[in-house]
Amino acid sequence: MKPYYLIYLYLLLLPFVAEAHGPTPQKARESLVINAPASKVWPLVKDFDRIAEWHPGVTDSSGDGNNEAGAVRRLTLENGGVLEEGLDYYSDADHEYSYRLKTENLEALPVSFYTMSLQLIAEGEKTQVKWKGRFYRGDTSNFPPENLNDAAAIEAMTAFIKQGLAGLKGKFE
């Protein structure tokens, strides 16, 4: 005799299990073209700890002064929030780097964790800049408040990327 009661129990509990899944990773991805060659854009972007020089939403940035995996930078945002990020990958030849949030600060950004990558692609005398991120909302419980839910995280990360891209473009056009 088979234990059919286990099947019934599973079917009875399935709706509750389906509701308790927690957060899923979200994404933000933006790109634009700058009317300047990559050989001129990359020198401004390449120093991981100097983002404040071109991102209008970052009022101060400092770091180790190197572009090697493991480097750390500290950002002060225009809203007063402070973020600490770590460099994961850097390629001068490919005009690309990726990094991650090291220390969560929900007042600065409504996310609990993120990984980001920034890449410049030479297109003759123009440069395509691609910036993308993968992140989790600020409150990772099943029922987050509106200011820490997926929509708030997507909005904040997209706005941060767009503001940075506009600032970078403004340095050349």
Question: Which two three-digit tokens encode residue 136?
Answer: 């989790």
To which residue do tokens 């994404």 refer?
Answer: 27
To which residue do tokens 């991120």 refer?
Answer: 133
* The predicted structure's pLDDT at residue 146: 96
The secondary structure of 68-79 as a DSSP string is: STT-EEEEEETT
- Tens digit of each residue's pLDDT (9 = 90 or more) over 18-60: 455 678 999 999 999 999 999 999 999 999 999 999 999 999 9
Tell which wins on pLDDT, 5 or 49: 49
What architecture is the 24-170 domain classified under in CATH? Answer: 2-Layer Sandwich (3.30)
* The predicted structure's pLDDT at residue 70: 95
Of the chain, the end-to-end C-alpha distance in Å amounts to: 77
To which residue do tokens 């997507």 refer?
Answer: 154
* The predicted structure's pLDDT at residue 9: 45
- Tens digit of each residue's pLDDT (9 = 90 or more) over 107-143: 999 999 999 999 999 999 999 999 999 999 999 999 9
SS3 134: strand
- Tens digit of each residue's pLDDT (9 = 90 or more) over 149-169: 999 999 999 999 999 999 999
- Tens digit of each residue's pLDDT (9 = 90 or more) over 61-104: 999 989 999 999 999 999 999 999 999 999 999 999 999 999 89
* The predicted structure's pLDDT at residue 3: 61
- CA atoms of 132 and 115, how far apart (whole Å): 9
Question: Which two three-digit tokens encode residue 72?
Answer: 């750390």
* The predicted structure's pLDDT at residue 17: 47
pLDDT at residue 13 is higher than 70: no
* The predicted structure's pLDDT at residue 23: 81
